[in-house]
Amino acid sequence: MDKNFAARRRRDLIIAAVLAALAALAPLFVKNVYIQNILVLTLMYAALSQSWNILSGYCGQISLGHALYFGIGAYTTELLFTKFGVLPWFGMLAGGGIAAVIAMGLGYPFFRLRGHYFVIATIVIAEIGLLLFQNWEWAGAALGITIPVRGDSWLKFQFMRSKLPYFYFALALCCLAWFVTWWLEDSKWGFWWRAVKDNPEAAESLGVVVFNSKMGAAAVSAFLVAIGGAFYAQFLAYIDPESVMGFQFSLLMALPAVLGGIGTLWGPVLGAAILIPMTELTRSYIGGSGRGVDLIVYGTLIVLISLALPQGLVSLFSRSKAKGATR
Amino acid sequence: MTALLETRGVWQRFGGLVANSDVSISVGRGEIVGLIGPNGAGKSTLFNLIAGVLPPTQGSIWFDGEDVTNLPAAERCQRGVGRTFQVVKSFETMTVIDNVIVGALVRNTVMREARRKAHEVLEFTGLAARANVLASDLVPAEKRRLEVARALATEPKLLLLDEVLTGLTPTEAQTGVALVRKVRDAGITVLMVEHVMEIVMPLVDRAIVLDLGKVLVEGKPAEVVRDPKVIKAYLGDRHAVGA
């Protein structure tokens, strides 16, 4: 039994390595900038959704306010860069740290809430964050911040001529978020989180400190999402509150995980790989009519997938996985 | 030697309702003690107070020579109090082995050791064959057994069993009784709440009868079942006169 378990863990790791290697080769074949753009976004949302999944999927604390951490990552990086000349790499880490601290600060009162009340609180807090940034003069208020062009360089993490560096960073971030999840899944934290999700009272009776588990999940999740936000800001080279902290980001982090399989290792990646290209393609091919046909098509597809596979797309693979698996 | 568990003048009120009034009981090391009483006697409340789900309104709870009255449930588990729930609370989306690993992590920080401990406990409780099944796919008797396994994985000094034998078929109940004996033989003290007198009485060393939130009688099972006060509490005045 233990052997099977170890084998499954190893197989997941090998599959991930192969997929990452294949993805790294993609730019050799994809020269179209528009498609490259879609690939970057897909990888980024896969990473974000994977991070969201740690708090909401594994630990069961559904957040629809992760746009806040995304925005904090973006703003911290750009404010530090434009106001103090701090390199985006450091800004990125600072943003992650600040987001993690804020997530824990918010968790302190809100982790006492259960179910729908917690979800509502996350939405409200993210909206408050958005309003604060829209009115914060020093941070550019509603006009936002334009990131000054200093020429292509890895040091300043800025590339005007090619999307490829962004592509590789997004791929690395996606691998990082996946690996962190993989690693945590078979750790004390991973078990604690799933126990808290399934039954907090029973978890408590088995020595699980429920509150601390939630705080840990929130911190890791927010940190990784903020790194994603910092990346997105550099990628856009311009940020304003709505374009890095809008509610749609909260949704686009949750949807891939939900469609792919919430609380699973592969769900977010699988969900993002289908959902994000679908979003972009429907928009560019049928979105021009101005009548929202793209959204109708998009929405219908989501409804169909959820109806057909309520456990998420990963459940398509779960039959073969169930043998000797520990979940 | 001091008792492993002691409640001293414990009261619990829920608004106007007094669930426990001035309950003082003690459980010695290595004993199997039965906590019995009719419905609404306050057994489950007392259980929750001992497990640390809520603090008592008044009084104190001592475990292993220390005052644990204000410690939360998780902390009490770390000190050596394991429990099961009357209404089964499995981690439904997790496999049987994963359920038990959660318990094993209290004393084993290295995953490999926690996993080995969990397998040991599954062998001990006769669930080894079901290790990789989802908890939601277990039959009720197995779920009860999983509750016990999970609690045992925390390596408790005191195991609190909340109606683990209730609602089982006679054969399942016999297996359950054998398991409780095995647990005690492994050196773990057991305090069990039970409804079904004929199953509990042969099993326990001592019985404590609660009625209307108070300790009614305490003693050897054979004496307790013959006590007129107990018969009255369960069956009413008419029967007590006959006894």
Tell whether the model's pLDDT for residue A321 goes beyond 60.
no
Q: How confident is the model at residue B111 (pLDDT cuts 50, 70, 90)?
A: very high
- From the list A245, A45, A222, the residue with the least C-alpha distance to A140 is A245
CB contact under 8 A, B105 and A194: no
| In chain B, % of residues over pLDDT 70 | 97
- From the list A54, A38, A58, the residue with the least C-alpha distance to A274 is A38
B98 and A CB contact within 8 Å: yes
CATH of B5-89+156-242, one of 3.40.50.300, 2.60.120.40, 1.25.40.20, 2.60.120.10: 3.40.50.300
Strand-pair category, A145-146 with A238-239? antiparallel
Amino acid at A245: M
Please report, for residues A11, A18, A212, B42, B56, the alpha-carbon distance to residue B70 in angstroms, rounded to integers and kept in the order given.
46, 52, 18, 20, 9
More confident residue, A312 or B179: B179
The size of chain A, in residues, is 327
For residue A327, being part of any structural domain is answered with no
Tell me the two tokens of residue A171.
């791929």
What is the distance in angstroms between the Cα of A305 and the nearest Cα belonging to chain B? 21
For residue A240, being part of any structural domain is answered with yes
The answer to whether the CB of B190 falls within 8 A of the CB of B4 is: no
pTM (2 d.p.)? 0.90
- How far is C-alpha B195 from the geometric centre of its chain's CA atoms? 12
Q: How many CA atoms does the CB half-sphere of A319 hold within 13 Å? A: 1
A214 and B CB contact within 8 Å: no
Give the domain CATH number at A309.
Answer: 1.10.3470
A157's enclosing H/E stretch is: none
pLDDT digits (tens, 9 = 90+) for A20-72: 999 999 988 888 889 999 999 999 999 999 999 999 999 999 999 999 999 99
What is the distance in angstroms between the Cα of A203 and the nearest Cα belonging to chain B? 8
Q: How confident is the model at residue A313 (pLDDT cuts 50, 70, 90)?
A: confident
ipTM over 0.95: no
Tell me the two tokens of residue B156.
């408790």
Lowest model confidence (mean pLDDT) among A134-143, A257-266, B80-89:
A134-143
For residue A70, being part of any structural domain is answered with yes
Residue of A nearest to B150 (CA): A206
The answer to whether the CB of A235 falls within 8 A of the CB of A77 is: no
At B161 the three-state DSSP class reads strand
- Residue partners of A117: CB distance under 8 A and separation at least 6: none
pLDDT digits (tens, 9 = 90+) for A209-232: 999 999 999 999 999 999 999 999
Question: What is the average pLDDT across A195-212?
Answer: 95
For residue A43, being part of any structural domain is answered with yes
Q: How many CB atoms lie within 10 A of CB B9?
A: 12
Tell whether the model's pLDDT for residue B81 goes beyond 90.
yes
More confident residue, B214 or A290: B214
Mean of the per-residue pLDDT values for chain B?
91
Residue of A nearest to B95 (CA): A327
- From the list A260, A16, A31, the residue with the least C-alpha distance to A167 is A31
The answer to whether the CB of A261 falls within 8 A of the CB of A270 is: yes
Substitution target in A59, A191, A206 with the highest count of B β-carbons within 10 Å is A206
What's the structural domain count of chain A?
Answer: 1
Tell whether the model's pLDDT for residue B132 goes beyond 90.
yes
Tell me the two tokens of residue B170.
């006679």
pLDDT of residue B115: 95
Residue of A nearest to B105 (CA): A188
Tell me the two tokens of residue B134.
């989802």
pLDDT of residue B1: 58
Question: What is the average pLDDT across B64-87?
Answer: 95
Amino acid at B103: G
The answer to whether the CB of A276 falls within 8 A of the CB of A38 is: yes
What is the distance in angstroms between the Cα of B95 and the nearest Cα belonging to chain A? 5
At A53 the three-state DSSP class reads helix
The answer to whether the CB of B212 falls within 8 A of the CB of B17 is: no
pLDDT of residue A319: 52
- From the list A313, A278, A272, the residue with the least C-alpha distance to A295 is A278
For residue A51, being part of any structural domain is answered with yes
- Residue partners of A298: CB distance under 8 A and separation at least 6: A278, A279, A282
CB contact under 8 A, B78 and A207: yes
- Residue partners of A118: CB distance under 8 A and separation at least 6: A61, A62, A63, A110, A111
What is the distance in angstroms between the Cα of A226 and the nearest Cα belonging to chain B? 30
At B6 the three-state DSSP class reads strand
Q: Which positions in chain B touch A213 (Cβ < 8 Å)?
A: none
CB contact under 8 A, B85 and A5: no
What is the distance in angstroms between the Cα of A149 and the nearest Cα belonging to chain B? 49
Q: φ, ψ for residue B186 (rounded to 5)?
A: -80, 5
Q: What distance in Å separates the CA atoms of residue B230 and residue B120, rounded to the nearest whole number?
A: 41
CB contact under 8 A, A201 and B90: no
A118 burial (CB, 10 Å; 0-12 / 13-18 / 19+) is buried
B131 and A CB contact within 8 Å: yes
Tell me the two tokens of residue A314.
């990963």
Tell whether the model's pLDDT for residue A1 goes beyond 60.
no
Range of the domain at A40: 2-322
pLDDT of residue A323: 41
Question: What is the average pLDDT across A126-142?
Answer: 92
- From the list B67, B71, B39, B28, the residue with the least C-alpha distance to B211 is B39
- From the list B225, B219, B195, B186, the residue with the least C-alpha distance to B205 is B219
CB contact under 8 A, A206 and B132: no
pLDDT of residue A283: 80
More confident residue, A284 or B94: B94
